[in-house]
């Protein structure tokens, strides 16, 4: 059922430390031979893997599938379903523009346009130099400061199109 290749070795080629970190986490889970039960740990394993690798390349998917005793297709199905997971590399700076309702009525669409224009990439894309990714996000719960932009963990509130260059230049 699981993929015949030695996925841990493949993963270690990407980064031995990261491969080890993920493996320690997977080993800590109370996994059994019951695939259905193991599947309950899939989403949290993918969260952990994405936290470690910043995205979920196919070697990571194969390894998680192998350890949980799941088919690669099942793992990929979950990754493609949930918007939080990505199998493409992301930029060092993830610019998340909130497009929740509160931010929408306060003009988030203008911010989206301005960021796209300024960075020359579209929502959902990463720049060729790998520095910036631009994504939309639905409500971070800081609606009182709408419109809100999050860059990695930093929150900018009451953002205007004029602040865009300033926010970009904060990313050093």
Q: Which of residues 99 and 133 has its CB atom nearest to ligand FES in the complex?
A: 99
Which residues neighbour 138 within 8 Å (Cβ) at sequence distance 6 or greater?
98, 99, 100
Options 8-16, 19-27, 59-67, 136-144: segment touching other proteins (CB under 8 A): 136-144
- What is the token pair recorded at 27? 């080993």
Which one of residues 106, 127, 151, 171 is an interface residue with other proteins (CB under 8 A)?
Answer: 106
Give me the least distance between CB of 28 and ligand FES, in Å please.
34
C-beta separation of 66 from 60 below 8 A: no
Does residue 142 interact with ligand FES by CB under 6 A?
A: yes
Q: Which does 155 bind (CB under 5 to 8 A by kind): ligand FES, other proteins, none?
A: other proteins
Pairing of the two strands 93-98 and 132-137: parallel
C-beta separation of 96 from 149 below 8 A: yes
Which one of residues 11, 61, 95, 100 is an interface residue with other proteins (CB under 8 A)?
Answer: 100
Does residue 134 interact with other proteins by CB under 8 A?
A: no
Does residue 61 interact with other proteins by CB under 8 A?
A: no
Residue 118: other Cβ atoms inside 10 A? 15
- What is the token pair recorded at 39? 């599947």
């Amino acid at each position: 059922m699981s993929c015949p290749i030695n996925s841990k070795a493949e993963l270690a080629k990407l980064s031995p430390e990261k491969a080890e970190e993920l493996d320690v986490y997977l080993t800590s889970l109370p996994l059994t031979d019951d695939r259905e039960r193991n599947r309950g740990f899939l989403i949290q394993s993918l969260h952990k893997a994405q936290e470690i690798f910043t995205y979920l390349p196919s070697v990571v998917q194969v390894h998680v599938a192998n350890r949980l005793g799941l088919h690669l297709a099942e793992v990929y199905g979950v990754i493609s379903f949930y918007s939080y997971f990505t199998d493409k590399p992301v930029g060092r700076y993830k610019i998340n523009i909130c497009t929740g309702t509160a931010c929408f009525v306060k003009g988030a669409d203008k911010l989206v346009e301005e960021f796209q224009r300024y960075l020359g990439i579209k929502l959902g894309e990463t720049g060729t130099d790998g520095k910036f990714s631009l994504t939309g996000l639905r409500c971070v719960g800081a609606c009182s400061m709408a419109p809100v932009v999050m860059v990695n963990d930093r929150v900018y509130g009451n953002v205007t199109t004029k602040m865009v260059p300033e926010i970009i230049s904060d990313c050093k």
